[in-house]
Structure formats: structure tokens, C-alpha cells
Structure 1
Amino acid sequence: MHFDEYQLTGRATYAAFVDAVRTILVSLVERHGFTPHAITGRAKDPVSLKKKLAKNGIDPASAIDEVLKDLAGCRIVFLTNSQVTAFHATGAINENFDILNVNEHHPVPGTETEDRLFDSTNYLVALKPGRAVLPEYEKFAGLRIEIQVQTLLNHAWAEMGHDTIYKEPELRHVDPRHMQAINARMTEVMREHLLPAGYAFDKIARDFNRIIKADAAAGETLATIASSTNNDELLGAFESADTLILPMITDNSGVFVELVPQIAAAVERVRGTKGKPINSIMGNFPGKTGEIVAKRAADLIGRGLYVDPKLSFDTITRLYRGAGTDAERKIWADLGAQFASYTVDAWEKVGTGVQAFIVERIGALSIDDRRALANLILAMLAKVLSYEISGIRRGAFPTVLINTAIIPAGEGLRQLRAGAFDILEQMLGTAADDIGRSDILAPLWIAATPPHGVSEGLRIQIMADATRLLAFLQDHSATWGLELRRKTEIKALRVHRNFRAVPASMTENTELVATQEKLVPALLTLRDTLNADPQFGLYKALIGTDSVAPKAWEEDVPDFRGAASWRKERFPEIIAEADPAKAAEWVARLRAFLTMPANAADRYPLTEFVEALVQVHPGIGTHMLYQMDADLQPVLVRLLRGLDAAGEGDVIAQHVARFIGEGRFLANLALWLGRRDQINIALLATVGDRARELGDSEAVLETVNAAGHLFRRGADQPLIDRVFLPSAEYFRGSKDPFWNDRLMDTVDAAIVEGLDEAQSRTLLELFMPVPRIDYSGDLVLAVIARRFPGLVLDYFGARIVRDARSDPMRYEVVPSDIHELGTVLAENPRQLVAATREWYRKDPRVHEYRGGRLFRNVFPSLPAEASGPLREIAGRGDRNDLSFVLDTLAAYDGAEPIYPICMDIVDRLDAGDDLLGRVSQVLGERGVLVGDYGSVDADRSERAQLEAWLDDPREKVKAFAKDERRRLAQSMAQEQRRATGEIEHMKEDWGEPAAKAKQE
């Protein structure tokens, strides 16, 4: 259509087309629930068109409808940015029209659009074929129209600028700088007024909708909390109350007070329930339990703990008392600790008022109540006796200010801590066992530990509290167990190191010096009292790597080597005093030591001692073997080693045979045999046979471990045939992948080197159920791959097949990270390409996370030896081969080394080929995006890299690059708009005004 034709008849056709499209737009926006400010349209005025043709050098006699895209246009005008975003998200334009092109108008820093602040999305569309064949639309077939979607503010700016900027007059006499000034003012109006107003309108609309939504949801939400027994419903109601309803009530304290008892009742209604399982495309997940409801309820109650402290205390103690599991009790204990913490907001209003109230309420409880609420009380009093005031407040967007301070000393604090001490001392005096006593002592030791930067007044308070604690310990600790006394001395030593000397800057404070002079003697008196018991001295020498050596009281800092030397010196002294005739007493003593509530690491010195003891007094060791049981089991390995060194082989043989026959201590025996100087493969095999017979998986694993240790000392095929493989094979029938996983962790790489191809294949089959290959598995696979790379590749291929039947959330086909295995597999890139290509042929689904990931992990930088085979396939392969290459490259997250291969593929494809879209996707894959504008930055980087394609001699490559760079420019504008909008919304919610300057 040339210009004269357009002027005579074309404009009328386009005007009718505009009316038809406008009718469609009115219908579709209503169908999607939108109420735009206006939907306008026009066919281009011939006068304006003629000027545009002349300005752009277009021949009026040419086919202008093929050159210009704005002969017809419609504009949908919404009131807010959010409405525009929501409309785009519906896909309504795509549903009703064929989209020929999309042009995003939005400023992107660092590009030529940086100062173009106008915001609009322009769709160039045509009627869909199905509509164009209808009689009322057939005359519009082939016509194009631009549909613009923008806000009212942008619409107003565009209308104003239509005559001042878009149709800038040709000035013949007036200085053109006047027009430049107008253009600058238009830009200033957009930046200084319209952009901020747009975000302000958004917030107004969002706040309005939130108010309406909160009001509508309040009744149903409160009713659900009051009566529902459905966990999912309650969680939804808690969320609605927390984030929607309560923030919308100006003074919500009254509502909160009424709501808390209902929340507590809801927790009690669903306590112990499991919830309905959740079925999803990602698998089946357990339903929401009553404990999850309790956790969310605690979060909600925690929002207003100080609204009514009495209600908070009563609610927390009520819910803790009724909890049926330790997990739920911990929820309420944590909430109690939150309640008792010193926060900046509460401190500024009432000082220690909240904590004083809590101590008063606990003090009023009966002894039975305190016992029932013990862990809750301890959690709260630990916070009461702490020293830090903390709080979080908003700073300038988007910073958060973390405020911390140390509590100042004063009479109120002294009385508060005295009350807490009264409660804890009463609880300590009535505790039933050392575990309970240890828990009660924990907050008391907190009270005796100074924070960094403590003031003189608070230092006095802490020393006075520590002196009071020491007096109690002096009177009561003699009846406590040895381990609790050992821990008590360790804590007391730390207090001594903190306060043994008065800081030089505080020596003039007579009260402080006097308090310190009371504390230090009390510490030394407690030390002497504890160590006056010979059994305690013996115990702390044999148990605990952190036990207090005598010289430690003279040290300012811990000397761990000195403590170890002290212990080594004590061993010969203790052994020299041991009487073999009193073997039974010694065994009873060691049993008592081993059954103290110490951890395994603390028992290690005792195992060393036992080895040394029985070398000198083998009779004691023999007696221990006769008495061997679960209590003595931790020392069995070192006991056997000591008797070995003492030449008691016959005694050992007798008892080992008995243990094997009884099926006891098999894992310990395997551990001993694996580290014994004398190698006895037959005996290790016997232990393994018995362990497999009894189904003792731990012992079977230990025989695998022992075989590896022995193999390192000298390769011996019987270790493989009689011990390693039978024990490994045992786990083939395991129904729990946990054991296969532990097998992979246990296998020693040295023994794997001795396996032949068939044995290696067997081992890999046993590793098939392993959910995730970690570093130890990587080492084992690398050993196999070094000699039999095909086996390892077959192993991964089998894992891909297994993955189709497994839970993808728990089964990782290939490791996310690779180490030695990658170095080995990289030696033959063509073999790896062939293997991954075969896996793709069998199952191309999510190849980039399977074969593609493995290829990328082996060749992270895609060197020439790895890219070469892929380029060969890209140059000669069929469409399936091209898809394989692209899906492999997708694992590289758009990294630069994939570009040459993608160029080769583009050159083989014709315009419109679907695989061109896949190339675009592969180039656009993103790894970790950093920052609010991370996606924009990634698009910018890709666009810059594609610039080199424009100089490529291949026309298809240049054409693809041109189109792709334009698409990326549009994507950058779209992402810039989205990110900027989100940031401005957050600023509004933060309380800061919308930005008036362009985004940096």
C-alpha cells in the first residue's frame, strides 16, 4: 500500500481495524478482571504520515505498510504500574493476537536508553488466523497494529510530548535551544514527579487492596483459629492474622490479647496430629504436623510478648506443660527465652521490668511446678542472667541496624539476679541427678562470666554472684558425680582466669578490689576441696582432654600441651600404684568411670591408659576380658593391643574366640585386627563371616575398613577374596541406601586398586543406591576409572536409569562437585562424549543435569580437547545430535567457551527453526545472579559477547546475533522495570520516598 492509496481508502480500512481491535481489547480486559482508565486507538493521520515519510527518507510510492508499524495503534491505559505488570502476566495479548514483535520502553543504565524515562510495552500484532477467516474480520487479514500498554502518567507524558518532542517543529528564526530546554524540562518532570508519583500510586493501591482484603479475611481467619482442627487451615489462618490482619489494626493490642488464648487452644486441639500427606509433581511429602502448627503459633505469639506480660507467661507455661514431645517443649522453651531476653525496645521503656516480672512469677511457683517446667525456667533464667541488650531496627534503606549493649549495674539488677539465684539454688538442691544439676548450673555459670568491655559496677556484680555460686558449690558438690565435679573445676578455672587479677585501670576502686579478694580465695578453696578426693584426682587424669592440671591455676591462658604432658606423667604413677591382686576393684573403678555422662572424646585418655596398664599388669586385662560388656566395650580395642604387647596371645585367642561365638563386640574385633601389628586374615575373615551371619552391619562395615588398612600394609589377594568382597557384597540386599552410602565412605582406595575388572564392576553395583557421591566416593571412583574408565561411565549411565525410578529430591545422579575423578575422566574426552551421547539417546530428559553436568564438571572451562568432539557433532550430526550438543552446553550457564559451538549450530539452521530458540535458551542460561539487577547484568554481558558475531562471515550467524541482541535489549528493559519496581515498593514499605533520580 503506497501513500496515495492509504490516503484514499487505506486509512478508513485501518480505522475500522482499530475499532475492531479496540472491541477485542475491551472484552479481554474485562474477562481478566481489569478496569483500565481508557482504551484508545487511531489510524495514522495522512498529514502526520507524510511528514514521517519525508523525515525518514521513505518513498511515498513504496509499500509503506511493510516499512512502518504504526499505521494503526491502540493504547491500553492503566492507573498503576502494578496493574500494567499484572496485565502482562495474564498473557491476554498472546491469547488473542499473533505477536510479531515486542518493544519494551524502559531506561536501562549503561545503554543508549539510560535517559529515556518513558515506560511502555508495545506489541506489534496481527489477528490470529482463526479470527481473520471470520466474515467480520477477513478484510483485516494481514494488517498489523501496535498495542501499547502503559500507565496514565506515562500516557499523559506521551501525549504532552507528542507535540513538543515527537513532532518537534522545524524552527527557522527562533533559537533551537528553547526547544532543547523544553525537552529537558519534560525529562525533569518525568524524573522528579511522574516516576515517584507512579510508585506512590502503587503503594496507595496496594495499601487500599490490603485494607479491603484484611477486612474481608478477618472474620473467617478468627473463626478458623477458634474452631478448626485442620493443620493446613490453622497455618493459613496464623499467616493471615500475622501478615494481613494485625498490621491493619491501628491499636492491635486489644485484639492480640483476645487472640492469644485462641491460638493456644488451637495448638492444644491439634497437638500430636500428623496432618494429611501432600502429593505433588516433585513427590509425596509428609503433611503438616501439630508441631509445625505449634512453631508457627509461637512465632505469632512472639510478635506481642510484651503487650500483656502476664498473659504471655501464663500462655507459655500452659503450652509447655501440655506439650507431649521434647520437640514441642523446645518450641515453648525458645519462646520463653525470647520473652526473657533484654531487648532495646523493652529496655528503653521498662528497663529490667519484664525480667523482674518473670523472676517474680517463677518464684511464686511451687516446687512441683518448677520441676515440671524446669527446662522452660532454665531457658528464661539463662536470659535473665545474661548481660546483653540487643535489638534490630531499620536504618536507611536497605540497611538493618543491629544494636547491642551491656546491661548497666544497679540496685534493680542486683535484686533481679538475687531472685534468679534463689530459684536456681532451690532447684539445684532438689535436682534428682547430675544431668539435671548440670542443666541448672548452666545459667549460673553464665552469671559468673563477664562480657567483653564490662564496666566496673557490673564487674563487681558478677564477682559477687560468682562468690555466692562458689559458696553453694563448696557446700553441695561433694555428693555429686565425678564428671559433674570435673566440669565444675573447669568452669571454676575459667572464672579464676577472668578475675585472678584486677585490671590496672580499676585498682583504685576499693569495692571492686574487696570483692575480688573474696572471690579468688573462694575459687582456690573449691579447687582444694574437689581435689582432696583421690578418686576425683584419678578420674580427671583418665577422663577428659580438658581436665584441669594443677599448674593450670597458675596460667593466664590454657596450655593444652602442658595438660597432656601432665596426664602422660600421671599414667606411670597410677600404674605403679595398681595392685594386680585387686583386679576386680580396678575393673569396677574403670566401669564406673566409663559410665559417667562424658562424651566419647572425653573417654579417649582412659583407653590410652588401659593399653599401658595391661602391658604392666596383664592380669587386670585378663579380668577385664572376663567381665567385658557394653560398659567396658569402649576400651576393648586398646585392651587387646596392650595384651598383645604383653605377649598374652593365648589369652587373647581364647576370649576373641568366645566373643565371636557369642556374636559380641564384632566391630571392635575388626577394628583391632585392622590395626594389629600381626596380620591375621583368617581371623578377620571369621569375624566378617560371623557379622554377616548375624546381620551386624556395623561390624561388617568395620571388616571392610580393616581389610583396606591391612591392604595398605601389603597387598594380599585373600584380603579381597575372603574379607573385602564378601563383606561389601553383604550390602547388596540392603533396603536402606544409608548403608550403601556408608560403604562408599568406608572403602579404602588402596584396596580398590587390587580389584580386577569384574570385581570393580561388582563394587560399582553396590554403590548404585548411594544417594549422593561425596569426596570419598569420588576418590574410589577415580581409582576404578584410572584402569577401567568404561565401568565408571556405565555406572553413571545406570544411575540415570535408576533416577527415573527414584525420588529426584534425594538421589543425585552425578556429583555436583568433582575432584580426582574429573582428572581421570578428562584423559579421554571422546569416550566421555560418546557415553553422554548414548545416555541422551536413551533418555534426553533433563540431560543438562545428568550427562551435561558430568561433562561440565570434568571440563569446567571447556578446553579444545573437549569442545572439539562437540564441534564435530555440531558440524555433521542430525537434529537429535544438535539437540544433544545444546543440552550438554546448557550445563555451562551461558559461559563464553560455548559460543563457538553455538555459532556452528546456528550456521546449520534455517530461519524460523525451533532449534534457534534452543540456542537462545542455552546462551541465556544463568548461574548465580548477584544483586537486584543481576539478570540485567547477565543480559548485558551476553549482548556484549554477541557483538563479535556481527563480524562473522556467516550470514546466518550475523542474522541470529542481530535478532538476539535486540531480544536481549528488550529483556534488559523488562528486567530493569521489574527490579526497579520491586525496589521502589520495598522503599515505600520501608518508609522512604520513591527515588527521584535514575537508577544507578
Structure 2
Amino acid sequence: MTQTGWGTFGHFQVWQQAGAIVQIILMERILSLSVDERRFFRALIIPIIRNMLSTELSGATADFNTVTFHRGEVPPSDLLRRLRQDAIAVLYEYDATASSETERRELIALLSAAMTVRSSGRAPNPELAAIVYANATEIIAYFTAQMDRWPFELRQKIEHDPLWKYRHHGTAPPPELTNLEAEEARGRLIQSILAFRSKVNIDSSFTTYKLLVGFQSVFPPAWNDRKLDHAAEDCYRKAEIEKLILTMDMDNADDWLATIRRCAATQSEDLATFPNFAHFLERLANSKPEIMLFYLRQLDSRLANFLTPMICRLSQTQIWPTVQELITSWIASHRFLADIAWAWGNVVALDLDTFEAIVEDAVDTRGDRALRSCIRSISWRDDANDAPRLKALLLKLIAYFAEQGDATWIRAWFSRHDRARLGIERARAIADTRVSGVLSRDRSQYRVAVARYRGRATRGSHRVFWASAPAFALARPGY
């Protein structure tokens, strides 16, 4: 049943002779099911609907020595109009009962695809375009009505599609490529998009969120300037962030803390998600350090992920001694060790005594995440002045992970960009100035650490260790 799209081999001839009869029969069967039954068969129904909503028609015919591939667009008809409306209605039903954000994102992607006419580079059939425009108008009106119950992350993703629809269909095509029905439908689509834009941007909480978080954000200049590039958008965001900071004071600090925590709670592994949020925290710490100190006193586990931008500028202010006392209290209470260790690699004002305390505490409490952050920070701060003390700490960390048979510390060591690309000649050149050189000169201690690692690590992780040898191993050929 999953092979029931317009373009499956064997159904192309059926479409030519009987139109969308197969899809109509399938939709009738789907609609005859109860709501609970449709929910049970969701994994089967979704691929069928995905094919039903496609406007492309493709297939192949063959004889004894030739295969011919055919491709085009679905011919418009009242049956097609009804079929698409029923399919979209089923997606609305699934959205109302979606049990996870992943399910809802899949549904939103299907609805977004239903708003597109795929015409293989040619102008679409005006009658088919009118059907898709009508569907898109309905879908965007649905997005507008449901917006308040969706999280900011999903709203941000949805907003991008209406912008592109507005850019592509905001101007009427040449008269020979359209008709009255298609133009009326296009006009209604544009009005629906403008209503959506107004509804989205009336929520100041969301407009602040998308200014600080994400890389698919849509801002007012994008609606008027089709050529707005990333650099211009970044300038706009930076300017708006400065305006936000000007509005902040101790009277509204609690409200802003809720906003900041909401931004920090965003789940994403994409490095493009948080640069502007980090910039906002840095500028806030630099401009209004007393507010940042207020937030640090209320730090939680999610916000601690952004400890580096929160404190990097505070080291240049009069409140830095207070911040150091706060960090010391966190270490003493075993809190935020991994985040403090990470920050130590970037914030030069954090001294080596603080770092040693983190390592000792993390080893005692078996905080593997904190210890990996320590190795990463040694990679970033292994200068000549600190090398002797860092050498002992690094050996201790390697020995700890050897006891666990854990090779993941190697990835932390390679976190520094130049180290990941380091060649033998470069390694030899820095051998006398960094921890790398101290370790390579002290062969006995290095051999002990490696021997313990080899004895404890699994066979697979042992291979990873030698394939990804750190710079201090490359600095002395023969190891």
C-alpha cells in the first residue's frame, strides 16, 4: 500500500486510463476507519498521504528492449481537489493527537509540502495551481489558528515557509501563464500569509526568542527585501539585541530571566542555533554586570551550558572577585563542574588553582563529563607557563579514563581546531612550549599513562587511541 503514489511503476497506465481512482479508493478506506483505527495505522497512512499530496506524476513503460520514463504534473480535476482536501484533513487530525514533537514536525513538513506545486522548471498548469493555492490558503490559516499551542521552536520553523510563498507568489505571473481562478486563489493566499505574519509577530515573547535563538528566523526586513543576505540579517539582529539590552534593568530582571531560561532550554545540537544568544549574554555582562551577577546567583543546569559567555566579560568588571567567590562555592558543592571546566578553557581570568580544584572534585565524584571538559580546556590553555602543572593533571585524567576503558577523552583533546589538523612538523615546532612538549620529554611518565591505557581500554578503543594520537605523541617519533 505504500507504493500507491502517482509515480509508481505499474500505476502510471492506471492513472492515464482512470485518473486518481486508486488513490480515491484508498482515501475512502482511510476515512471509513475510526479515529482510533487511523491513529493505530498512522505509520501506514502517512506515506500514502505523502504520495497523494504530491503534484508530480512519474512512471515508466517497457517492452522487450526499451524502458521509457515519463514525468509530468498531476492533471487537475474535482476528484483531485476533494482528494487533497481529505488528505489534509487527516493530517489536521493527526496533529491534534500528536504525542511528540517529532510526530508534529513530520506533519508540519507534510503540510508544507502540500503547499508546493512541483512543475519540473515549467510554469504550472493554472488549474492545478489554483487547487494548490486554495490548499495553501487553508493550511496557512490553520497554522495561524493553532500557533499559540505550538512551542517557539516549531513556530520558527513554520514561519520560514510562508515567507518563501510570499516571495514566490507575491507578484502575479504573466497573463499567458495564469487564469482568473488561479489569480483569485493566489490573492487569497497572499492575504492569508499576511494575516499569519501579523499573528506571529504580535507575540513579543516569540519575537524576542527568534531574535536570540535559531538560524531560520524571519525578521521584518526579509518581507520587503528579497536580497536580504546572512550578513545583513546578522547586522539587524545585533542592532536589535543592543536595543533589548537597553530596556533591561533590575526592575524587569526577573521577567528577563524567564526569557533567558526559555532560550537556554532550546534543544539543539546545531552550532548555528546559539551564536546570537551567546552574543546577547556577552553584551549584557559587559553593559550591565550587576544584572548578570543576579542571574549567576540563580544559575540552573540548562543556563549553565552558557556559563562561558555569561562570565567572559565579567572578568573585566569590578564584580569579578564576587564571581570568583561564587564559582568557588559551586565547586565546593559539586555543582556545574563540567560547565566551569569548559569555561576555564576560554576565560583566561580563571586561574589554574580553580582548575585543579575542578579536576580533583570531578575525579572524586567520578564526573566523566566534567573530566572530558577538563581535557578539552587543557587543549585550549596549554601554554608554556602552565605546562608543568597541566602535565600532571592531564596524566591523571588519562589514567582515570584508562581505568574506565573509555576512549572518548581523545575527542575532547582534539576539540581545538588547529590540533585536529596538526601534522608532525607542526607538532615538533610547538613541542617545547606546550604540555605536548613537557609530556614528550618525560618519556617514563608518558609511557606509564599509555601503558595503563593500553591495559585497560577495550580493543576497539585502543585502536582509536593510536589512530588519533594527540600532538604530544606526534612530537616524538617512535612512540
TM-based fold match above 0.5: yes
- CA distance in 1 between counterparts of 2:471 and 2:297 reads 46
Which residue number corresponds to residue 438 of structure 2? 754
Q: 2:301 corresponds to which letter in structure 1?
A: A
Displacement of 1:446: 0.6
TM-score by length of 1: 0.42
- CA distance in 1 between counterparts of 2:71 and 2:260 reads 48
Is residue 538 of structure 1 aligned with residue 226 of structure 2? no
Which residue number corresponds to residue 644 of structure 1? 315
* Structure 1 residues 509 and 762: alpha-carbon distance in aligned structure 2, compared to 1, 3 A threshold: farther
Q: Is the 8 A contact 1:470 1:523 kept in 2?
A: yes
Displacement of 1:478: 3.2
> Over residues 47-92 of structure 1, what are the superposed CA-to-partner deviations in whole Å (9 max), with x where a residue is unaligned?
xxxxxxxxxxxxxxxxxxxxxxxxxxxxxxxxxxxxxxxxxxxxxx
Is residue 603 of structure 1 aligned with residue 274 of structure 2? yes
- CA distance in 1 between counterparts of 2:72 and 2:94 reads 30
Q: Is the 8 A contact 2:61 2:69 kept in 1?
A: yes
- CA distance in 1 between counterparts of 2:268 and 2:176 reads 40
- CA distance in 2 between counterparts of 1:496 and 1:583 reads 38
Is residue 561 of structure 1 aligned with residue 231 of structure 2? yes
SS across alignment from 1:545: coil
Pairwise mapping of residues 464-475 of structure 1 onto structure 2 (< 5 A)?
464-475=134-145
- CA distance in 2 between counterparts of 1:417 and 1:517 reads 20
Displacement of 1:445: 0.5
Pairwise mapping of residues 399-798 of structure 1 onto structure 2 (< 5 A)?
404-431=71-98, 436-451=103-118, 452-453=120-121, 455-456=124-125, 457-504=127-174, 506=176, 509-556=179-226, 559-596=229-266, 601=271, 602-678=273-349, 680-711=351-382, 713-736=383-406, 738-739=407-408, 741-742=410-411, 745=414, 748=419, 751-755=435-439, 756=441, 757-762=443-448, 764-765=450-451, 768=454, 769=457, 771=460, 780=469, 784-787=473-476, 789-791=477-479
- CA distance in 2 between counterparts of 1:647 and 1:382 reads 60
Q: Is the 8 A contact 1:408 1:458 kept in 2?
A: yes
* Structure 1 residues 746 and 604: alpha-carbon distance in aligned structure 2, compared to 1, 3 A threshold: closer
Q: Is the 8 A contact 2:27 2:83 kept in 1?
A: yes
Which residue number corresponds to residue 431 of structure 2? none
Displacement of 1:598: 5.2
Pairwise mapping of residues 211-230 of structure 1 onto structure 2 (< 5 A)?
none
Displacement of 1:383: 2.4
Q: Is the 8 A contact 1:674 1:705 kept in 2?
A: yes
- CA distance in 1 between counterparts of 2:61 and 2:389 reads 65
Q: 1:655 corresponds to which letter in structure 2?
A: L
The structure number with the bigger radius of gyration is 1
> Over residues 807-852 of structure 1, what are the superposed CA-to-partner deviations in whole Å (9 max), with x where a residue is unaligned?
xxxxxxxxxxxxxxxxxxxxxxxxxxxxxxxxxxxxxxxxxxxxxx
* Structure 1 residues 506 and 668: alpha-carbon distance in aligned structure 2, compared to 1, 3 A threshold: farther
Displacement of 1:515: 1.9
Q: Find the partner of 2:31 among 358, 363, 368.
A: 363
Displacement of 1:701: 1.5
SS across alignment from 1:544: coil
SS across alignment from 1:421: helix
Displacement of 1:600: 5.1
TM-score by length of 2: 0.83
Displacement of 1:376: 4.1
Displacement of 1:423: 1.8
Displacement of 1:715: 5.0
* Structure 1 residues 555 and 506: alpha-carbon distance in aligned structure 2, compared to 1, 3 A threshold: farther
Displacement of 1:709: 0.9
Q: 2:287 corresponds to which letter in structure 1?
A: V
Is residue 380 of structure 1 aligned with residue 380 of structure 2? no
- CA distance in 2 between counterparts of 1:776 and 1:348 reads 59
- CA distance in 2 between counterparts of 1:557 and 1:376 reads 42
> Over residues 589-616 of structure 1, what are the superposed CA-to-partner deviations in whole Å (9 max), with x where a residue is unaligned?
2222333555554234222212222322
Q: 1:487 corresponds to which letter in structure 2?
A: K
Q: Is the 8 A contact 1:752 1:780 kept in 2?
A: no
Displacement of 1:389: 3.5
Which residue number corresponds to residue 348 of structure 1? 13
Displacement of 1:364: 2.3
Q: 2:211 corresponds to which letter in structure 1?
A: A
- Runs (5+) with no aligned partner, structure 2: 420-426, 428-433
- Runs (5+) with no aligned partner, structure 1: 1-304, 306-335, 792-1000
Q: Is the 8 A contact 1:381 1:420 kept in 2?
A: yes
Q: Is the 8 A contact 1:391 1:402 kept in 2?
A: yes
| CA-atom RMSD in angstroms | 3.2
* Structure 1 residues 495 and 726: alpha-carbon distance in aligned structure 2, compared to 1, 3 A threshold: same
Count residues in correspondence.
Answer: 452
Q: Is the 8 A contact 2:12 2:58 kept in 1?
A: no
* Structure 1 residues 682 and 463: alpha-carbon distance in aligned structure 2, compared to 1, 3 A threshold: same
- CA distance in 2 between counterparts of 1:766 and 1:500 reads 67
Q: 2:245 corresponds to which letter in structure 1?
A: I
Bigger relative contact order (CA 8 A; separation at least 6): 2
- CA distance in 2 between counterparts of 1:781 and 1:722 reads 16
SS across alignment from 1:675: coil
Displacement of 1:444: 0.9
* Structure 1 residues 781 and 625: alpha-carbon distance in aligned structure 2, compared to 1, 3 A threshold: closer
Which residue number corresponds to residue 8 of structure 1? none
* Structure 1 residues 352 and 518: alpha-carbon distance in aligned structure 2, compared to 1, 3 A threshold: same
* Structure 1 residues 545 and 642: alpha-carbon distance in aligned structure 2, compared to 1, 3 A threshold: farther
Q: Is the 8 A contact 2:214 2:274 kept in 1?
A: yes
- CA distance in 1 between counterparts of 2:7 and 2:411 reads 46
* Structure 1 residues 633 and 381: alpha-carbon distance in aligned structure 2, compared to 1, 3 A threshold: farther
SS across alignment from 1:706: helix
- CA distance in 1 between counterparts of 2:227 and 2:10 reads 38
Q: 2:411 corresponds to which letter in structure 1?
A: R
* Structure 1 residues 359 and 776: alpha-carbon distance in aligned structure 2, compared to 1, 3 A threshold: farther
* Structure 1 residues 678 and 401: alpha-carbon distance in aligned structure 2, compared to 1, 3 A threshold: farther
- CA distance in 1 between counterparts of 2:311 and 2:367 reads 21
* Structure 1 residues 743 and 515: alpha-carbon distance in aligned structure 2, compared to 1, 3 A threshold: closer
> Over residues 98-147 of structure 1, what are the superposed CA-to-partner deviations in whole Å (9 max), with x where a residue is unaligned?
xxxxxxxxxxxxxxxxxxxxxxxxxxxxxxxxxxxxxxxxxxxxxxxxxx
SS across alignment from 1:581: coil
SS across alignment from 1:580: coil
Q: 2:444 corresponds to which letter in structure 1?
A: A
- CA distance in 1 between counterparts of 2:72 and 2:465 reads 46
Displacement of 1:741: 5.0
Q: Is the 8 A contact 1:637 1:671 kept in 2?
A: yes
Displacement of 1:774: 9.3
- CA distance in 2 between counterparts of 1:767 and 1:407 reads 63
* Structure 1 residues 643 and 402: alpha-carbon distance in aligned structure 2, compared to 1, 3 A threshold: farther
- CA distance in 1 between counterparts of 2:384 and 2:210 reads 40
- CA distance in 1 between counterparts of 2:269 and 2:468 reads 31
SS across alignment from 1:345: coil
Which residue number corresponds to residue 262 of structure 1? none
Displacement of 1:434: 5.6
Q: Is the 8 A contact 2:375 2:409 kept in 1?
A: no
Displacement of 1:779: 6.8
